[in-house]
Amino acid sequence: MSSGKLRNIGPKSAAWLRQTGIHSQEDLEAVGALAAFIRVKRAGFKPSLNLLYALEGAILGCHWQDIPEERRQELVLAASEEVAKLPPPRGRRMPAAGPVTTVRHDEEEAAMPEPDFGFDDPAAERD
């Protein structure tokens, strides 16, 4: 499927669709926008809701921005319900990092004595 065969679908989205078994307008129409979007998610890709709207527009033969707001909301609600049913992604994921704080120790460092590591510094003896 090239990006010219389906309205609203760019090369990256077309590649995702091909990898999920959707190769033509007829395939997309048979599956439907929501199921096609879920296939892409299930395959491990991270599509935005714009793909869902683009798929609906491709089926209806209109620009994705022309999808009525009410229909967009229906699609989002249905997609949220379906995505919630998907198993968690495979592989090890790192936990989210905690907040980052910056602590300045300039004054403390200046007041602290030099650490004594238990040996003499040969460079200090030359002075």
pLDDT at 86: 87
Domain assignments of the chain as residue spans, ordered by start:
11-85
> Is the separation of the CB atoms in 41 and 86 below 8 Å?
yes
Per residue in 6-32, pLDDT tens?
A: 899 999 999 999 999 999 999 999 999
Which of 84, 79, 87, 82 lies closest to 54 in space, CA to CA?
Answer: 79
| CA 70 to each of CA 57, 73, 75, 111: distance values in angstroms, whole numbers, following the listed order | 14, 5, 9, 66
pLDDT at 4: 45
pLDDT at 33: 97
Average pLDDT, the chain: 83
**For a pLDDT cut of 70, what percent of the chain falls above it?**
67
pLDDT along the chain (127 residues), means of 10: 70 95 95 96 94 96 95 96 85 63 62 62 60
CATH topology of domain 11-85: DNA polymerase; domain 1 (1.10.150)
> Is the separation of the CB atoms in 45 and 16 below 8 Å?
yes
d(CA 62, CA 4): 14
Let me know how long the chain is: 127
pLDDT at 1: 47
